[in-house]
Amino acid sequence: MKCNRLNIAMIFASALLGVTSCGGRGDGNRTSGEADSLTAVAELRQRLEEADKSGKVLFGHHDDPVYGHEWCADSGRSDVLETAGDYPAVMSWDLGGLELGNAANLDGVDFGRMRAEVAAQNARGGISTFSWHLYNPVDSSDCWTIGDSTTVARILTDAATGKAFEKDLDYLADFFTSLRDADGEKIAVIFRPWHEHTGNWFWWGRPFCTPEQYRQLWEVTRRGLEKRGVDNVLYAYSPDRISSEEEYMERYPGDEYVEILGADVYHFNGEKGVEGYKTTAANQLAIVRKLADERGKIAAFTETGSEGLPMADWYTSVLLPVLKAQPVSYVVVWRNAHDRPGHFYAPYPGHPAEESFKTFYND
Ligand code: BMA
């Protein structure tokens, strides 16, 4: 597909409906017959591949339409919509707590509402992606409780834990297969399990299992979901910051388990300074880009952001140059918590970063 704009365009949801020639369902190069012959998941893959090659980047925000800075559970709202003027092209969600049979996830998002918002996002032409901050199947402690380093091994070898994990997968499979459009067809989405495993903050992190055990965890997860009829999911692999291709690949589950190669890199205020983040993020994305191209995979910036946006021009001076240097299919910034005033990654109306965010969107 040919794109006539060389610079990055942040494609938001309405653009995906066909206003732009890149990545949208209204792509003039594709006949309706061709589109109809693709499964939903093949079509999602194709759209992401097109976005990935276009030099444009889809913008994503976690929990975008269900709460924002100082509002919660309203309908039709979104801090991104109320600042940039459009819903994000990608909405990110988390399934942590679903496996306990809870009605809402670990951040209080009702799963029924989430399901409805995924359908609304799909109807707008947007995409949804899911992470899973699941509770420990051994003792139901949260994912940041890392005292016991045997959990992954137990999922794989201990009958009782394996059974508990199979139950977790039952809940997950029921949820994924319940994502339906108005015609009752399954909606294709992205799933990004076992994220940031190169860090030491989740029980599946590098210090707490071997590379082989981590790979097996992916295998039981993906094969377990497939066995339960989940055929509407693309899988994303997303290490936290690493410094080499070898490190990126050390625990890679294998090409048969992954469609999207991602990276999570945050800009921690003061940690490394602006140039430190830009260099780290650019290096990371260059590794992702190279490996994705070699393997025929989609490249994505699966999580980033600057908490509280202390720099009013963060979107234009920091994130935009990183994406221009190394475009990928999409970028996701984390949530705007309604109950933690400083915990937000997209601006809200009246925030000093609003103007920079609009410029970023227009670019
Ligand atoms: C973290 C924070 C937490 C949240 C978790 C899962 O980065 O936002 O408050 O519970 O993600 O969404």
Residue 272 has a pLDDT of 54
pLDDT of 5 above 50:
no
Q: Which of 16-20, 71-75, 281-285 has the lowest mean pLDDT?
A: 16-20
- pLDDT at residue 277 greater than cutoff 70: yes
pLDDT band (50, 70, 90) for residue 274: confident
pLDDT tens digit sequence for 13-54: 444 433 222 223 333 333 444 556 899 999 999 999 999 999
How far, in Å, from the CA of 193 to the mean position of ligand 1? Answer: 15
Tokens of 42: 């093949």
Q: Taking 80 as the threshold, does the pLDDT of residue 345 lie above it?
A: yes
Q: Which of 305, 306, 304, 309 is nearest to 352 (CA)?
A: 309
In percent, how much of the chain has pLDDT > 90? 87
pLDDT in the model for residue 234: 98
More confident site: 24 or 95: 95
- In this structure, the number of other CB atoms found within 10 A of the CB of residue 363 comes to 17
Instruction: Name the β-bridge partners of 304.
Output: 333
Instruction: Write down the pLDDT at residue 269.
Output: 77
Mutate which of 61, 98, 133 for ligand 1 pocket (most atoms within 8 A of beta carbon):
133
Q: Name the region of 304 (left: φ>0; alpha: ψ -120 to 50; beta: rest).
A: beta
pLDDT at 333: 98
CB 301 within 8 A of CB 267: no
More confidently predicted of 162 and 25: 162
Q: How far apart are CA 352 and CA 329, in angstroms?
A: 28
Task: State residue 16's pLDDT score.
Answer: 47
Residues with CB under 6 A from ligand 1: 94, 106-107, 133, 334-335
pLDDT grade for 273, boundaries at 50, 70 and 90:
confident
Provide the pLDDT confidence category of residue 270 given band limits of 50, 70 and 90: low
pLDDT tens, 297-340?
999 999 999 999 999 999 999 999 999 999 999 999 999 999 99
pLDDT at residue 171 in the model: 98
Q: Would you state the structure tokens that stand for residue 99, as one six-digit string?
A: 């496996």
Average pLDDT score, the chain: 91
Considering the entire predicted model, what is its pTM?
0.92
Q: Residue 270, exposed/middle/buried by CB under 10 A (0-12, 13-18, 19+)?
A: exposed
Residue 154 has pLDDT above 80, yes or no: yes
Which of 61, 335, 336, 339 to mutate for ligand 1's pocket (most ligand atoms within 8 Å of CB)?
Answer: 335
What is the CA(251)–ligand 1 centre distance, in A?
24
- For the segment 228-252, the average pLDDT, to the nearest whole number, is 98
What does the pLDDT read at residue 37? 81
Task: Quote the pLDDT of residue 148.
Answer: 85
